[in-house]
Homo-oligomer: A and B are copies of this chain.
Amino acid sequence: MAAPNCVFCKIVAGKIPCLRVYEDPSVLAFLDIGPLAEGHLLVIPKDHAERLEDMPTDILAHLVRQLPPLARAVLKVTATDSYNLLQNNGKTSGQEVPHVHFHIIPRKAADGLGYRWLASSYPAGRGEEIRRQLVAALA
């Protein structure tokens, strides 16, 4: 199902052009038009879903099975050996188009890309408390 005014739904429908790399009945992969690096790919479900948690899990599993061959193709074409797989959910995460998309971003040394790795640590007991809350939330 397409959502009105969704850019990616319009790309799926062919109403907005894209550089298509792979397509099957439920998944589309195309070049990001504002790439972080040459070969930066977007992989999306054809049916509209805003976030990872909104996707039917069968479609999600099928989409993810396409990622390894797509990543291998990106590595080959860009002559790189590394990439980030990134998928943002929610405005605060940096998600700009509210239609699930996986980024495959090939990486080269000193390219200035990557995640801002501001690591911290848990005060004594806090990690265990968070763990307990997470287990309870999953129950």
A residues contacting B by CB (< 8 A) are 19-22, 31, 33-36, 38-39, 41, 52-53, 55, 57, 60-62, 64-65, 67-74, 76-77, 80-95, 107-109, 112-122, 126-128, 130-131, 133-135, 137-138
Contacts and interface: CB of A to CB of B under 8 A. Distances in A.
Q: In the assembly, how many copies of this chain are there?
A: 2
A20 B117 CA distance: 22
B84 A87 contact: yes
Given A19-B127, A92-B108, A133 B52 contact: no
* Chain A interface, >50% SS class: mixed
A121 B19 CA distance: 13
B21 A121 contact: no
A60 to B, nearest CB: 6
A137 B36 CA distance: 21
A35 B114 contact: no
Given A84-B86, A92-B82, A93-B82, A134 B77 contact: yes
